[in-house]
A and B are shown apart, each in its own frame.
Chain A
């Protein structure tokens, strides 16, 4: 073995393969988001095509496990983050995201955007919303839980897959939902619920994948998720359970990074986000509700979805103030 020959070859190939290919003359915009947004069946590829058609640029997605992981990654990377836009945080995270000092006001007119309860902010712009819900397989479960209480106290043999609140916005959403309903008794409720939890995944994709492959009859997802199965798969098999106490609302937002390499391009993307070119892809690809005008009607299936009588949503400040302590409480309860 000629070691002296192998090493340089290995190192050069390693470098050649790892560094990104030389960029072409056009500008590049990198957007950090969560993984399901950019998967083949998510809205990412279509939005990319639509935006590139009008920006004369190259749009690059970088997907991480889920929304909270996105914030973790930003905290870690700090000013070294090589992105212009971060898309996929939600209102529960915006205060913490602002406290990193990495975002700057978008300076855009956002009148066309409307969400339940009305959220408007100088730094973050909503791009879709929905309510969290337990989605169940009607062929595996005959009597789905009718309330959060039912879910907590139901038969431990009927399992649910949930997401980790330390990485995932649905996971964090369930944490805040439980807190909204149970208050100081949330810890005891989690201890009870933990008996029904098959596994805790880092992101929504993994959890939903386990659910659809039949590993568990229930999953934490959205009231809008069944629309996917009705539209794309033409089946009513998967349904969202309506909970008597009400449902926790999620408003997903995007923001502009202060150190964006192509700031104007990043701003252009955020403007584009509020137009039909982006919003059209939300209902039938991200399976969430659009926040601004679309040029095509919502599919019929959306009228059959659960529409919660009552919505919960903590203010961004309250969520930020309590997140760490509540997650510790969750860890404590779930590890018992």
Chain B
């Protein structure tokens, strides 16, 4: 319910927001094309590109298969063991990797899976002589499963739990075996969410940057994103960066179109603390496989986090906290995070409003287009990954040398765009219900325009706005992709500082820093979650 003027304003503002996003995406792409085009590739370079592309797809494919092949039986086991001790706790634990900065997770994974980690010591005790290597493909796969197995489980489990209890009773009465139960009841209930999760996991792994950078271990295990970074920071070869970026964008586009075909992924929903009785669940000794599976998965996901906490507490935290370098990095990180979050919330607000206005009377095709574009704007940022975006701006700014504000502005913009899809998802439903509640009233009271925005609409959206804001701050705090290109001795963020300490193997400092950064982002994520729950609209 908007007045004519308000409609016009909403659409104009939405158009302006779209224009800004379009500019922020198009400029770097055009610069990449302009600077990189015309530089020919030698045969060996061409083969190298081909191999990197193949590796990118291969690791993403394997990561997806491993994550899903574990997630499906795990979700099944969790669904039929509603009273498993610590189940609620485990499901909460599975929400953590979503918000954990990849760099912090990488550190924990090295603690667990490194040559001197618990896993290899255990293997040594068992008499396995060849130590397991966290570097290269195996390390990348472990890290990707660590992040995506929990995600997939949270996608799949709600579908299983929503099945009415009568299904299980009837199945038990019919004496259905495990296999037919899976084929006739469980699989149909999770097929769609599993497919959606698979697509999402593939997309995330195909554009994975930080984990591959830290755990890749050389040219044999390099993905397109890391190769773009290396082409610019190692070789300063814009031509190669362009080729790689073009392949990357083509790839993500293909995957996204593929995803559209599979149907949009359902969102990870709330799981209920299970009261459904499951007569089909095996009992006694036969329950052991389920228990083992749940236990192993819990340890697999939990151990790296515990390792981060333990080694972080062993670090000299007081010295780290007294280090001006830490505070400088923390201030820069928080400032970037706050600025990025403000921008993200502002853009999301404008787009949501424009979409609402366009949907309100979807008469003309122009309005339909505006609505569609506003909706697609957030996905556009998935299409052009942060490193590609940063690469274009990096070339345009001549590496950002001797500049402070321009690189900072780029990092802020990239982070804001990264957060946009999530922030929009928080604000849009709240905005819709607020409009339904207050729209008519505002009109009848004659409160319109800015005063309406300030006095009615924004206060009504206060909680979702703050939730989106806090979430965006947390996301930006953990980001290494944008800063990796521009980081220097002058612009240092917490993840960049952590990466440098990790690089120079000041491991104790790195461990302490990882704990602080992990704690900060997790705290913010929890706060966002709390706020979101109070409001009834989490980013789900």
Which residues of A are interface residues toward B (Cβ below 8 A)?
A: 1, 3, 6-7, 10-11, 13-15, 17-20, 35, 39, 62, 65, 69, 72, 75-78, 80-82, 157, 159, 164, 166-167, 194, 197-203, 205-206, 209-210, 213-216, 325, 327-332, 334-336
Contacts and interface: CB of A to CB of B under 8 A. Distances in A.
B185 to A, nearest CB: 46
Contacts of B234: 69, 72, 164, 166-167, 202
Given A7-B342, A200-B217, A200-B218, A205 B505 contact: yes
Nearest to B220: A335
B523 to A, nearest CB: 17
Contacts of B135: 198-199
B331 A17 contact: yes
A206 B401 CA distance: 25
A213 B110 CA distance: 12
Interface string B128-165: 00100101100000000000000000000000000000
Nearest to B470: A1
Given A1-B469, A11-B339, A200 B219 contact: yes
B505 A209 contact: yes
B219 A6 contact: no
User: Top 7 A-B pairs ranked by shortest CB distance?
Assistant: A209-B505, A200-B218, A199-B217, A14-B335, A166-B234, A334-B219, A335-B219
Nearest to B135: A199
Contact of B220 (A65, A82, A334): A334
A214 B120 CA distance: 12
Contacts, number: 130
Contacts of A15: 404
29 contacts: A1-B465, A14-B332, A17-B327, A19-B404, A39-B504, A69-B234, A72-B236, A76-B398, A157-B130, A167-B234, A197-B217, A199-B135, A202-B234, A202-B503, A205-B503, A205-B504, A206-B504, A213-B507, A215-B114, A215-B115, A325-B42, A328-B44, A328-B45, A331-B44, A332-B44, A332-B47, A335-B219, A336-B51, A336-B220
Which of B42, B401, B469, B490 neighbours the largest number of chain A CB atoms within 10 Å of its CB?
A: B401
A288 B366 CA distance: 71
B235 interface: yes
Given A206-B504, A214-B115, A1 B491 contact: no
Interface of B, helix, strand, loop or mixed by DSSP: helix
Nearest to A207: B505
Nearest to A211: B505
Given A6-B338, A14-B332, A205-B503, 16 more contacts: A1-B469, A7-B339, A10-B335, A10-B338, A14-B335, A18-B404, A18-B490, A75-B236, A80-B401, A167-B234, A194-B218, A199-B216, A202-B234, A205-B504, A209-B504, A329-B44
Contact of A77 (B44, B339, B402): B402
B53 to A, nearest CB: 11
B52 interface: yes
Nearest to B217: A199
A329 B44 CA distance: 7
A335 B51 contact: yes
A116 B383 CA distance: 55
A11 B404 CA distance: 12
Contacts of A328: 42, 44-45, 48
B99 interface: no
Nearest to A199: B217
B112 to A, nearest CB: 14
B259 interface: no
B323 interface: no
Contact of B136 (A7, A76, A199, A332): A199
Nearest to A212: B505
A127 to B, nearest CB: 22
Given A10-B338, A166-B235, A213-B116, A335 B136 contact: no
A197 B221 CA distance: 12
B211 interface: no
Given A62-B489, A328-B45, A210 B332 contact: no
A97 to B, nearest CB: 14
A132 to B, nearest CB: 18
A213 B505 CA distance: 9
Contacts of A75: 236
Interface string B486-502: 00011100000000000
Given A17-B328, A198-B217, A336-B220, A6 B342 contact: yes
B399 A76 contact: yes
B116 A215 contact: yes
B345 to A, nearest CB: 9
Contacts of B130: 157
B8 interface: no
Contacts of A39: 504
B491 A18 contact: yes
A210 B218 CA distance: 14
B169 interface: no
A18 B230 contact: no
B236 to A, nearest CB: 6
Given A18-B328, A198-B217, A203-B503, A11 B335 contact: yes
B191 interface: no
A162 to B, nearest CB: 8
A336 B332 CA distance: 40
A331 B47 CA distance: 10
Contact of A76 (B44, B51, B236, B507): B236
B222 interface: yes
Nearest to B404: A18
B266 to A, nearest CB: 32
Contacts of A3: 342
A155 to B, nearest CB: 10
A14 B340 CA distance: 13
Contacts of B507: 209, 213
A215 B222 CA distance: 20
Contacts of A19: 404
A335 B52 contact: yes
A77 B507 CA distance: 31
Interface in B189-224: 216-220, 222
A80 B402 contact: yes
A3 B454 CA distance: 13
